[in-house]
Amino acid sequence: MNNEQVQNEIAAIAIAVLGDYDSNRAIDNMQDVFVQPDREEIFSCIENLFKVIYPGFYRDKTYKIFNIGNTISVLLEDIQFHLSKQIYLALRSVSKELECDKEQLENKAEQLALAFLRTLPAVRAMLDEDLHAAFDGDPAAFSFGEIIISYPGLFAITIYRLAHELYGLKVPLIPRVMTEYAHSRTGIDIHPGASIGHNFFIDHGTGIVIGQTTVIGNNVKIYQGVTLGALSTHGGQLLKSQRRHPTIEDNVTIYSNASILGGETVIGHDAVIGGNAFITHSVKPGTRVSVKTQEQALTEMRHKVKSSDPLDECWDKDA
């Protein structure tokens, strides 16, 4: 095809797509195109929040002189300005009345951003406990700094604790964007509505799912692949206000790939849940739950394949 033919094809496709926008479906939002939060700005706020939470570990390397007083003030002002804007857009995007008072919403957004920033000292105190739990619980940890700058578990917990504060302030959309950012970076999916106590440690982390109404106590340790989920979601939106996820009491350890499901399921304090367990009923305090070791079948190779490559001896070509 020549350039003119390609341009004609593109013009025809554009007309078809524009016509499709008139279908008034959930994916069509031309009326509110400028009233949606900006994901990239939210991610930028997260980066600046890490600089506030972990000074010295996360910082702007372009500064030749690092003055903690000046730097923190500038960071907080930047976060407050951009977060207020994103909260305003989030409030507008979920409002049923698009003609609602702009100044009133802007003031509300500004107050919510300031209320969130006031929680930072308390959030830092919780994260310091999480950091110590990670160090004390992982013999492979070399230092606190190693955990802060490299462990996906603490990264995801940090974003969760920040998002949880915004969630508690009833800020729409933004908390979920934040935790899904952590999910995309670490493979750890923690809903901002979950309630998680002190000294929380995630080891390895990949594949962990913690649902919206989960309640986790203090001194809990979980490994990769753990799911704290709903027993069933067939009810869809009708289940929105119901408790769907389990309660994990204090001092519980949950090993890899265990699934604990259901809003009435309670794992009692000091219990140990073994790997690959599937639990839909409550477990008494101090109980050790384990899956019976699967029987292994070993098949002896019928013959060896001659090869110049010694690795080929590991394979039975006729199997």
pLDDT tens profile 8-26: 889 888 888 888 777 777 7
Give the per-residue pLDDT at 318: 42
Q: Is the dihedral of CA 83, 86, 91, 94 positive or negative?
A: negative
Q: What pLDDT sits at residue 103? A: 86
> Both ends of the chain: CA-CA distance in Å?
51
pLDDT score of 307 more than 80: no
Pair (183, 200) in one structural domain: no
Asked if residue 223 and residue 130 are part of one domain, the reply reads no
172 in the same domain as 36: yes
Same domain, yes or no: 69 and 159? yes
Residue 289 predicted with pLDDT over 80: yes
Percent of the chain with pLDDT over 70: 84
Instruction: Report whether 166 contacts 175 (CB < 8 A).
Output: yes
Mean predicted confidence (pLDDT) in 286-303 = 79
Give the domain-ending residue among 155, 170, 189: 189
* Strand boundaries in the chain, DSSP class E: 189-190, 195-196, 201-203, 209-210, 215-216, 221-223, 227-229, 247-248, 253-254, 259-261, 266-267, 272-273, 278-279, 288-289
More confident residue, 220 or 36: 220
Tell me, yes or no, whether 149 and 210 share the same domain: no
Greater confidence (70 vs 234) lies with 70
Mean pLDDT of 146-155: 96
Mean pLDDT of 37-64: 86
Structure confidence at residue 236 (pLDDT): 64
Which residues, 6 or more positions from 153, have their beta carbon under 8 angstroms from its beta carbon?
Answer: 134, 186, 188, 201, 202, 203, 204, 205
Pair 262, 231: CB distance under 8 Å: yes
Distances in Å between the Cα of 247 and the Cα atoms of 106, 167, 282 are 38, 19, 9
Q: Looking at residue 128, which CATH number applies to its domain?
A: 1.10.3130.10
Q: Are 191 and 214 in contact (CB under 8 A)?
A: yes
- What does the pLDDT read at residue 304? 54
For residues 161 and 309, the model is more confident at: 161
- For residues 101 and 220, membership in a common domain is answered with no
305 pLDDT higher than 60: no
CA nearest to 290, candidates 255, 262, 246, 264: 255
Residue 311 has pLDDT above 50, yes or no: no
Model pTM score: 0.84
- Tell me if 19 is assigned to some domain: no
The last residue of one of the domains, among 138, 163, 189, is 189
Instruction: Please name the amino acid found at residue 3.
Output: N
Domain span at residue 234?
194-291
- Report whether 275 contacts 242 (CB < 8 A): no
Task: Give the chain's mean pLDDT.
Answer: 87
pLDDT of residue 315: 40
Q: What does the DSSP 8-state code read for residue 283?
A: B
Which pLDDT score, from 0 to 100, does residue 127 have?
Answer: 98
Report pLDDT digits (tens) over 211-221.
Answer: 999 999 999 99
Rg (CA), the chain: 25
312 has a pLDDT exceeding 50: no
Token pair 């609602």 is at which residue?
100
At residue 116's C-alpha, the angle toward residues 110 and 117, to 5°, is: 90
Q: What is the pLDDT of residue 58?
A: 82
Q: What is the mean pLDDT of residues 37-51?
A: 95
Yes or no: say if 150 and 56 are a contact pair by the CB < 8 Å rule.
no
Q: How far is CA 160 from the centre of its chain?
A: 6
User: Do 49 and 181 reside in the same domain of the chain?
Assistant: yes
**pLDDT, position 33:** 59
Does residue 298 sit within a domain?
no
> Which of the four pLDDT bands, split at 50, 70 and 90, describes residue 292?
confident
More confident residue, 15 or 113: 113
Looking at the structure, tell me whether residues 114 and 199 fall in a common domain: no
**pLDDT tens-digit series, residues 157-212:** 999 999 999 999 999 999 999 999 999 999 999 999 999 999 999 999 999 999 99
- Asked if residue 105 lies in contact with residue 91, where contact means CB atoms within 8 angstroms, the answer is yes
pLDDT at 34: 62
Residue 97: inside a domain: yes
pLDDT of residue 20: 79
